[in-house]
Amino acid sequence: MSPIYQRLKTQPDVKEVFEKRSLIVRALREWFWDNSFIETETPLLVNLPSMEPYLDPFKTELKTESGKSYPAYLITSPEFAMKQLLAGGMERIFQITRSFRNCETLSKAHNPEFTILEWYRAYSDYEAIMRDTEEICAHACQTVNGSTILSYQGQTIDLTPPWERISFADALKRYAKLDYDQIDTKEKLIPIMQERGYSHSESDDWDSLILQVFINEVEQHLGQKKPTILCDYPASQAALATISPNDPRFAQRFEAYIAGVELCNAFDELTNWQEQQSRLEEDRALRIKLGKDDYGLDLSFIEALRFGMPKSGGNALGVDRLCMILLDKTALRDVIYIPWTEMFL
């Protein structure tokens, strides 16, 4: 790939892509402003990263003039900071910011530095966030393409709300022909995976095994004619989401897909500080087991929950991925001004 200044001068479509990207980002902001959300700004540089077992932050160091130094990290998302704002009484908040993830899969859908849209509704739930997601994406599509019907890589996809909604278990049954009750333990799942030619090791847990099946047999089918909201994930994959009051095997979490591409990750937010601390301790133990760095717990986040974060719904949406789809591109590098490959390879 030639340098950005050459591409802008010699390839008119490159400038057009970035002009349209600007329209999309403006449309996102306008939707939130029109719906009485407050735009927030929280730190990119933090003293503790989030504790997701499979995410790796970028490490750096903060030094004072006197020479004192502190370990510091670039955020993998603004989630913990924004939840402190919810605990303080802010009810509708959003943020469009940069996030950073190291050791990521090098693919067309990943860049170590990326733009994230994150928003929260206090006194609400993940059903309301589903509706937000539908409206936001449809509004952005209408703004940049003049219609909520999208042509992506020769396929017509209708972003007009409501979108398709399907549970994780039902998606496994529809596309992978697997009955959740018959594969809900590692011991039940392994023989089926062996029959289908999947590899595994003794150290693999159920979540990592079912992820192989999901990526290979389910994901590509999602969001093909209408975007798909994949909801009610296994409780073991709850992360920071509440457990379903109707079925404790599942969590109130969803992801949205367009053309097989994951756009976002949303929760009915867990507000019980004791349960959240317990989950973070489990994540910490898993990080250690995986040989990853142990950062300790972010006690300021736990204290915010203890102080009193209201019932809330929240979502984190990849802006670069949304732009890629709305602009009919197949790789993030086509919608990012200067992708990492241009600097490091």
* Lowest mean per-residue pLDDT among 72-76, 172-176, 288-292: 288-292
Residue 238, pLDDT > 90, answer: yes
- Taken in order of first residue, the domains within the chain and their CATH numbers are 4-158+298-344 (3.30.930.10)
Which pLDDT belongs to residue 267? Answer: 98
Which pLDDT belongs to residue 203? Answer: 84
Residue 168, pLDDT > 90, answer: yes
Closest CA to 167 of 180, 184, 185, 186: 180
Residue 106, pLDDT > 90, answer: no
Place of tokens 């306008």: 30
Closest CA to 136 of 41, 33, 219, 38: 33
pLDDT (tens digit per residue) in 187-229: 999 999 999 999 988 888 999 999 999 999 999 999 999 999 9
pLDDT (tens digit per residue) in 248-263: 999 999 999 999 999 9
> Three-class SS of residue 16?
helix
CA separation for the pair 172, 215 (Å, rounded): 11
Q: What is the DSSP string of 42-55?
A: --SEESS----TT-
pLDDT (tens digit per residue) in 119-142: 999 999 999 999 999 999 999 999
Place of tokens 């004192």: 68
Q: Which two tokens stand for residue 98?
A: 């940069």
Averaged confidence pLDDT in the chain: 97
CA 220 to chain centre: 17
Please work out, in degrees rounded to the nearest 5, the angle formed at the alpha carbon of residue 216 by the alpha carbons of 260 and 323.
20
Segment 149-161 mean pLDDT: 98
Residue 50, pLDDT > 90, answer: no
Q: What is the dihedral of CA 157, 233, 319, 139, to 10 degrees?
A: 50
CA separation for the pair 303, 309 (Å, rounded): 10
CA separation for the pair 81, 88 (Å, rounded): 11
Which band of pLDDT confidence, cut at 50, 70 and 90, is reported for residue 23? very high
Which pLDDT belongs to residue 280? Answer: 95
Closest CA to 73 of 102, 45, 103: 45
Residue 246, pLDDT > 90, answer: yes
